[in-house]
Structure 1
Amino acid sequence: MQNNVVTNRVVKNSAVKNSTLVKAKNAWIASLELDFDCTEQRTRLTKIKRQGPLSVQKAFYPEGQRCAHVYLLHPPAGIVSGDELHLVANLDNGADALITTPGANRFYRARDNLDIGDSKQVQISTFHLASQSMLEYLPQETLIYSGADAVNQVDIHLVPDSIYLGWEITCLGLPASQQPFTQGRFSQRNRIFCQQKLIYQDRIDITAANALLHHPAGLAGNTVMASFVLYVPALSVQQRHELLAQIRTLIIEVGAQQWLSVTDINGLVLARYLGEHAQQCKTLFIQIWQRVRPLCKGKQVHQPRIWFT
């Protein structure tokens, strides 16, 4: 598998800086902030602060009271020029939450008749995990239409004994519909902080001009790229090595060596997919999830009901 997709790993403090964009007159600026706490072995969704077309209904408990499942709802089902979506989740001590989406997210083609800056389509997710909390962020795939001007950023703020399992699955263009990604721009940045120290950063910036989509040192013509980050501090070095061995055995058993690889980066277990099929990627990631989740507070995999509707 090609696994050298512009990755930067940083192990020093870094200030977070976000540029201010000029907004289109009809842009939708949506924000959603969720607070979770834990009381008597029950995780509660205690606060929902929202603005614009981004919301949740309530927390579901398909696997008991310990873990709250939350489904992000975005009725427009896509992000257009000038739109910004901001998601924030705060987990108090001991809280366990699983956040997912009912369907694919979409960055549509950017409008051409806007001033500089207006064409940007932005989604920023920020998660804060307190002591002994656990967050699973498992959204459906993100579709990047040709001509989009998209920015997707995920920032995770941890403490040494919190747990994070999260994936991002990105599909460039709609090749099955004869709509390949031939123009536009897509920027992805994933960052993990532990006690305000930046311990991991992964960034890619794809444009028609820089040829990363087709370059052998980039995506090599593949249209689906994904990463699954696992931060489980309770695992010893030996346990992480055993987990890596199990995942590598799985990769061989299902014949996925061409598309999937896994590595240990400073205590983070990172699986990467580079191929052409989002469903194949999700199936592989779920199989990894099935092996990792029991190591996190003894929890077995319980797939969200919304995935089957």
Structure 2
Amino acid sequence: MTDLPTAVEALGVAPARQRADAYARASFARTGARTEPERLFETGGLRWRFPRSASPCEAVLVNTGGGVAGGDAYRVELALKEGAEVEATTTAAEKIYRSDGAPARIETRLTLAPQASLFWLPQETLIFEGAALERRLQVEMAGDASLILVESLVFGRLARGESSIDARLRESWRIRRDGRLVFADETRLDHAGAALDRPAVGAG
């Protein structure tokens, strides 16, 4: 009896890999002096945890898969109702692994009602050698809502001597206040290590 993987390799056809399709959504409402989760949805390896429900409410996103690979798709949505206060983060750095073709895709959508306050502070995204990432961030916020947002990228594991890795990045940000576009940014790096070594970009 012929082993199936051996037969597939003999035909020169790469075996299909199972890819993650994960989605996490949460809405928050003010209840007296507290902010609490109102509605939650989670599937495909993304989970919510709430170490402290007060004001602000702490929301922690967990990726049970331990990282993101090429072809994976992750979507995260947070919606804060009027007066809600939330501090959102992740349990660990998000790791973007090597891609054999299709990029990893991460989409984040944040919605803030009047007088809502959000600290969006995920831990850094660590990009490995050969990774390909497309990341999209969209924010819709009321004019009197407040937002502190930090998204950091680390190219390679410096402790392992990976100071100049070859990876691809596409990143798009759109922030609207009262429906008016107030910030737009597009980032494209085709060979991240070589680009970041240039004096006008990262100077190594």
TM-score by length of 2: 0.86
* Deviation sequence 1:97-149 (CA, Å, 0-9, x none): 010111111101112xx5xxxx2101111100000000001111110111001
C-alpha change, 1:212 and 1:69, in structure 2 (3 Å) is same
C-alpha change, 1:125 and 1:209, in structure 2 (3 Å) is closer
Aligned to 1:196: 179
- The structural deviation recorded for 1:215 is 1.9
Aligned to 1:51: 43
Contact 1:37–1:93 (Cα < 8 Å) also in 2: yes
TM-score by length of 1: 0.58
- Tell me, in whole angstroms, the C-alpha distance in 1 between the residues paired with 2:155 and 2:30: 39
Q: How does 1:213-224 map to 2 (within 5 A)?
A: 213-221=196-204
* Deviation sequence 1:253-291 (CA, Å, 0-9, x none): xxxxxxxxxxxxxxxxxxxxxxxxxxxxxxxxxxxxxxx
Match of 2:141 among 158, 183, 192: 158
- Tell me, in whole angstroms, the C-alpha distance in 2 between the residues paired with 1:57 and 1:66: 16
C-alpha RMSD of the superposition: 1.8
**1:167 maps onto 2:159 in alignment:** no
Aligned to 1:34: 26
Unaligned ranges ≥5, structure 2: 1-15
- Tell me, in whole angstroms, the C-alpha distance in 1 between the residues paired with 2:85 and 2:193: 41
Q: Which has the higher helix share?
A: 1
C-alpha change, 1:67 and 1:217, in structure 2 (3 Å) is same
- How many pairs align? 189
- The structural deviation recorded for 1:60 is 1.4
Aligned to 1:91: 80
**1:185 maps onto 2:171 in alignment:** no
- Tell me, in whole angstroms, the C-alpha distance in 1 between the residues paired with 2:49 and 2:59: 8
Percent identity (aligned): 26
SS at 2:159's partner residue? helix
Q: Which has the higher strand share?
A: 2
Q: How does 1:140-151 map to 2 (within 5 A)?
A: 140-151=123-134
Q: How does 1:112-131 map to 2 (within 5 A)?
A: 114=101, 119-131=102-114
Runs of 4+ in 1 over 4 A off after TM superposition: none
Unaligned ranges ≥5, structure 1: 1-23, 222-309
Contact 1:44–1:59 (Cα < 8 Å) also in 2: no
